Structure 1
Amino acid sequence: MPLNRVRDFVKKFDPELEPIVFDQEMKTSMEAANVLGVEVGQIAKSILFQSGETFGLFVAAGDVRINTKTVKSLLGKNPRMTSPETVERITGFRVGAVCPFALAADIPIYIDPSLSRYDVVYTAAGIPESLLPITFEKLVQITNGTLIPATCEDTKS
């Protein structure tokens, strides 16, 4: 089960980390923020991009849009968001529940600093009903993610 895979993975890094499981599904950053009563920016969205056979998982605050120019500079020409089937094959998680660690395939993780403005952020934890509260620093550590320059665009503008 994906939730157990996430639970087991985070326990190796910090026994205090524990996914929160809710009664309802939260498939978008906005839905998750509403359930938690936090800003949408505190929800870490994880989006899988592909350029040819090269993949990268981009993690950013829920209130920003990932800049495709940055994705292109990191993955190569003609990057695109992957299909739901490819997301599940590469990450091991369904769209709406993609956790940025405990992935099925070894791919690079790129973390946008847009999340660093919060003391705690919430990642998906493998199923649409779960979220994992985590600090930005621990997120970077656990994912072994590469911090990228501020590449996202605020969706409010």
Structure 2
Amino acid sequence: MSLERAKAYLAEYGRDGDVLEFDVSSATVELAAAAVGCAPERIAKTLSFSVGDRVALVVCAGDARIANPKFKERFGCKAKMLSADEAEESIGHAVGGVCPFGVKDGCDVYFDESLRRFDLIYPACGSSSSAIALTPDELAQIVPAGIWVDVCKLPAEEQS
């Protein structure tokens, strides 16, 4: 059902035919990278957080991690990820297929700057065996309510 919801959303932008479906799991960054055939950092993972009475979906590069001080500065609260049950109930997509396409009301979508390093990224499409290839600008066009933020850190930043 979730895959169909994402495809229906993407159809509004003429992109439902671009959804890649795999015979293997793409539920984690590593599995998705293997299924797509790309570097893990190009997987656009969608992390879900409780922010007040809303859900913040942060789409970021596969190698990025939430930077707690940046998150708190941007959202005014500590980063608290939703549980798997909360995610599916609040977003409409299960963990492993969470994406910014066709989400329920009450979800706000944010694109982290970590995505802008790449010409092509691969977000999931509502299931644990799907993805779509998009440029960061195409992602922003397909999810026009999305807001660009800088709330993540990359591996190189963690070592310094």
TM-score, normalization by structure 2 = 0.89
Contact 2:8-2:16 within 8 A present in 1 as well? no
Give, in whole Å, the separation in 1 of the partners of 2:95 and 2:15. Answer: 27
Deviation for aligned residue 1:35: 2.0
Q: What is the aligned partner in structure 2 of residue 133 from structure 1?
A: 133
Deviation for aligned residue 1:11: 1.6
Q: What is the aligned partner in structure 1 of residue 37 from structure 2?
A: 37
Identity percentage of aligned residues:
31
Q: What is the aligned partner in structure 1 of residue 149 from structure 2?
A: 148
Deviation for aligned residue 1:57: 0.7
- Counting matched residue pairs gives 156
Q: What is the aligned partner in structure 1 of residue 92 from structure 2?
A: 92
Deviation for aligned residue 1:16: 6.7
Contact 2:68-2:78 within 8 A present in 1 as well? no
Q: What is the aligned partner in structure 2 of residue 70 from structure 1?
A: 70
Alignment gaps of 5+ in structure 1: none
Give, in whole Å, the separation in 1 of the partners of 2:77 and 2:16. Answer: 41
Contact 2:64-2:153 within 8 A present in 1 as well? yes
Give, in whole Å, the separation in 1 of the partners of 2:26 and 2:93. Answer: 14
Q: What is the aligned partner in structure 2 of residue 121 from structure 1?
A: 121
User: 3-state DSSP class of the match of 2:56?
Assistant: strand
Give, in whole Å, the separation in 2 of the partners of 1:105 and 1:69. Answer: 27
Deviation for aligned residue 1:115: 1.0
Distance 1:15 1:58, change over 3 A: closer
The aligned amino acid for 1:145 is: G
Deviation for aligned residue 1:17: 5.0
Distance 1:16 1:28, change over 3 A: closer
Deviation sequence 1:36-91 (CA, Å, 0-9, x none): 22111110010111134232111100011021222222333233011111100111
Give, in whole Å, the separation in 2 of the partners of 1:93 and 1:16. Answer: 17
User: 3-state DSSP class of the match of 1:134?
Assistant: coil
Deviation sequence 1:101-134 (CA, Å, 0-9, x none): 2102232111112111212111111110111111
Distance 1:9 1:53, change over 3 A: same
Q: What is the aligned partner in structure 2 of residue 26 from structure 1?
A: 26
TM-score, normalization by structure 1 = 0.90
| 1:102 lines up with 2:102 in the alignment | yes
